[in-house]
Amino acid sequence: MQKLFDDIKRTFVEFAAQRDDVTLIVQCADGHTPPLGKALEETEDGATSEMFWIFTDDFTTAQEYASAVINGFAAKHAAACLAMEQRGMAPWPAFPERLLDETVVPHIRLRDLTAFSRELLPFPDGMLAVWALFPFSIADGRAWAELVASVVHHDFPMPWCHHLRFIVRDDEPGRPLSLRLGGWPRVQLYAPDLSDEAMQRAMDGEVDDESKPIEQRLQTLFLLGNMDHANRRHADALAKYDLLLKYYTRVRNPTMAALVLNAMGETHAALGNTEMASQCFEVAWEPASQAPGPPVPVLMNIVLNLGNLRMSQERWDEAEVYYNVGQQFATLQRAPLTKVQCLETLGVCQYMQGKTELAATTWQAGAHVAGALDLHDQRRSLLERLRAHYQQIQDGKRYWEVENDLSALPRATVSN
């Protein structure tokens, strides 16, 4: 796995170092984006002649994406200027407020933003600004291809994008961006093999390599177990998890022991072994809660698994407790989507116990959080539950208040 990762990183390093091509198109499906994002971050960490700007915001529309990138850049710019000022350094040039004008065409805003980034290079003649526009999810491949093509288009002999390089993602199923730009000069295409088979081969080799540190080999074995689980090779997954649990228990690594137990529980749940799954999740809680830190993401995953399991068993009172703890962990983790989802399901558990007013209060809280964070689909789902509740108890006033809130929401997202 490390060799595969190193090969990807080497491609990024070589592209950033060369001075001929402007754009590198990386072809990959949604599920393969995290290792590429990690490789980009490590390439940035090792860069000496390039300043990287990496954005992994999901792409829905050109307008929304341009605004997300520009707002993210503005936040990074402001933080850097503050730090420079506190250290007595001359701050960067002021951020151009015109870039925040959403009436301007999206590709023009992004062009102007990337051009502005050249002004931040400490040594303009010997450095490049490398822009990684790498959405982890692309809702509309054609719209994405059109936006990127409009941004990187340039003419000779005086291209607008001097001292700039672009690493951009193409959605693998149709590869619309590659089709759009594939014949252009100064464009490279890169299709890393991130198939399950390639990753399986790479990880198998790493596990068997006795020259590697034992911890690295076992981390890879854990990833292989997760891959077995994802591909429904449940017996293989459990065999790997059992070996890992024995090791991490022996060396007293509570966080990894909890992670393995949680994974074993998920595998038993997939097999329909609810009692074994329940035991694994419950036992996983003890080492996770005692680990240094403690590891909140691990704890949150365990309680949500327990909540889901209890809900499937219609043990509503226990599920209520777990989802309530889960939404609190989501607050600590700054995971707003998970928090809203927990609040909705928490309300369902309360409603099924006859705590209808408490459920309505919970759904109202969830709808408020979703509204504040522009999570429109989640807010719609919560408001629809409230509407059904108020219709059931014949509360016309609150029913029409919710109906008006629903009418004011943008249209629902349609999945392709």
- CATH code 1.20.1440.230 for 197-407: no
Residue 217 · residue 207 · CB < 8 Å = yes
Backbone angles phi, psi at 381, to 5 degrees: -60, -40
Q: Does residue 181 carry a pLDDT above 80? A: yes
Of 317, 319, 325, residue with least CA distance to 296: 325
pLDDT band at 34 (very low <50, low <70, confident <90, very high): confident
Q: Does residue 205 carry a pLDDT above 90? A: no
pLDDT digits (tens, 9 = 90+) for 267-308: 999 999 999 999 999 999 999 998 888 899 999 999 999 999
pLDDT band at 81 (very low <50, low <70, confident <90, very high): very high
Mean pLDDT of the chain: 90
Backbone angles phi, psi at 59, to 5 degrees: -100, 120
Residue 6 · residue 202 · CB < 8 Å = no
Q: Does residue 104 carry a pLDDT above 50? A: yes
Of 23, 104, 30, 39, residue with least CA distance to 66: 104
pLDDT of 338: 92
Residue 192 · residue 8 · CB < 8 Å = yes
pLDDT digits (tens, 9 = 90+) for 108-146: 999 999 999 999 999 878 899 999 999 988 989 999 999
Residue with the bigger pLDDT between 218 and 256: it is 256
Three-state DSSP at 104 gives coil
Q: Whole-angstrom Cα distance, residue 151 to residue 81?
A: 27
pLDDT of 416: 38
Percentage of residues in the chain having pLDDT higher than 70? 96
pLDDT of 49: 87
pLDDT of 206: 65
Q: Whole-angstrom Cα distance, residue 321 to residue 346?
A: 8
Most distant CA atoms of the chain, gap in Å: 73
Q: Where are the domains of the chain?
A: 2-194, 197-407
pLDDT digits (tens, 9 = 90+) for 351-395: 999 999 999 999 999 999 999 888 888 999 999 999 999 999 999
pLDDT of 84: 92
Query: Which residue's entry shows tokens 């540190």?
Result: 213
| Low-confidence winner among 100-114, 219-233, 277-291 (lowest mean pLDDT) | 219-233
CATH architecture, domain defined by 2-194: 3-Layer(aba) Sandwich (3.40)
Q: Whole-angstrom Cα distance, residue 187 to residue 24?
A: 6
